[in-house]
Amino acid sequence: MSTRIQTDPRSLVARLPFLAMPTGSSHTMDADAPQRQRTLRAPVKCSGIGVHTGTPVTLTMFPAAPGHGIRFRRVDLGPDVEIAASWDRVVVTNHCTMLGQGLGGEDEATVMTVEHLMSAFAGLGVDNALVLLDGPEVPIMDGSSAAFVFLIDCAGLVEQDAPRRAIEVLRPVTVEEGNKVAQLLPQPHCSISFAIDFPAPAIGRQSHRITITESSYRSEIARARTFGMLQEVDYLRKLGLARGGSLENAIVVDGDRILNPEGLRFTDEFVRHKILDCLGDLYLAGAPILGHVHGERAGHAFNNRLLHALFADPANWRWVEVSRGGTVRPIEAVTHEAVTHGAEAVEAATQHSVAA
């Protein structure tokens, strides 16, 4: 099935950078000012199919208020059901990341395959958005995040009148089982290293490391597609998965052969896609993570276990603001100043970050 992308005509204005000045633009050139939360400038939508369910679905993204975060809303269920894009709402991690309401039971509303869209939100720095779906699964598009990056670009982004919160990793957190490892290490910015080792010679052992910025995400990660083994297709379909999978939305590997006639987009596209997934899964933390993420043969399950391990101990992390120049400042300091010096000090601290 072909995919379709529609944009609100107003969003075209947002693509002209000089017409899309963010709110509070007097702070934009101040390296000490805190980064601000961002949302879409206009609604935008696309249609496609779910890679696992094979179901046609229309996805519409809406701007949302500061502090809203990313939320999904199923609009095909009678009363609409809203599900927060949160690590503690993950109910399935087999072959995709699935969110649920947290009620349990067969009637629980779920949203499948959120990871590639979440990755685009993380990579482009979208803090707040409401995502409407008229089906059970985020459309797979071309198997990467490129279509979602395009959609967000079409909508445009606006800065909001609230500082962005980030999660700073304070001490190493490791999840390990057999030869699989997922790890978070303290560091004042976000980077990801990942290694995979597949028996199929077309993949083999690959490793890649990247410091995550909007520009590195766009050029090195966003276009990397999901992949699968030809031998697994029958097995997955018996499980009710991969029903919408095809050469149009996944790299299919048969031993030493890539079946897609167009070949690969990167020689190490497989490990780059694992980084794409990892960034999307970890954005379910509810904010950007400042730290180094290392994954070794890890997948959706380990990414989610890593967040559970991180949040299991409050000593592992803290809330921070990050200045436009990259300086990290604990949010407790703002609160403390509020108590000590009153609201004016907070306003001053927020407007002109005083981090050392």
For Zn ion, the closer of residues 159 and 277 by Cβ is 277
Do 66 and 160 touch, CB atoms closer than 8 A?
Answer: yes
The least distance separating Zn ion from the CB of residue 330, rounded to whole angstroms, comes to 33
For Zn ion, the closer of residues 156 and 299 by Cβ is 299
Pairwise CA distance, residues 31 & 34, whole Å: 8
Pairwise CA distance, residues 128 & 141, whole Å: 22
The least distance separating Zn ion from the CB of residue 44, rounded to whole angstroms, comes to 22
The least distance separating Zn ion from the CB of residue 276, rounded to whole angstroms, comes to 6
CA distance to 164, 189, 191, 232, 298, per residue, from 239 (Å): 41, 39, 35, 11, 21
Pairwise CA distance, residues 18 & 24, whole Å: 15
- Name the helix (H) or strand (E) containing 206: strand 205-211
For Zn ion, the closer of residues 221 and 310 by Cβ is 221
Bridge pairing between strands 70-74 and 56-63: unpaired
For Zn ion, the closer of residues 229 and 355 by Cβ is 229
Pairwise CA distance, residues 306 & 87, whole Å: 10
For Zn ion, the closer of residues 115 and 159 by Cβ is 115
Per the document, the length of the chain is: 356
The least distance separating Zn ion from the CB of residue 306, rounded to whole angstroms, comes to 16
Task: Provide DSSP, 79-124.
Answer: S-EEEE--GGGEEE-SSS-EEE-S--STT--EEB--HHHHHHHHHH
| 40 SS3 class | strand
For Zn ion, the closer of residues 268 and 277 by Cβ is 277
Pairwise CA distance, residues 105 & 330, whole Å: 40
The least distance separating Zn ion from the CB of residue 328, rounded to whole angstroms, comes to 30
292 carries an active-site annotation: no
The least distance separating Zn ion from the CB of residue 277, rounded to whole angstroms, comes to 4
- Site of interaction with Zn ion (CB under 5 A): 226, 277
Say which of 300, 308, 336, 341 is annotated catalytic.
Answer: 300
Bridge pairing between strands 289-296 and 165-169: parallel
* Angle 193-197-201 from CA coordinates, rounded to 5°: 130
* Chain-centroid distance, C-alpha 184: 17
User: Which residues are known catalytic residues?
Assistant: 300
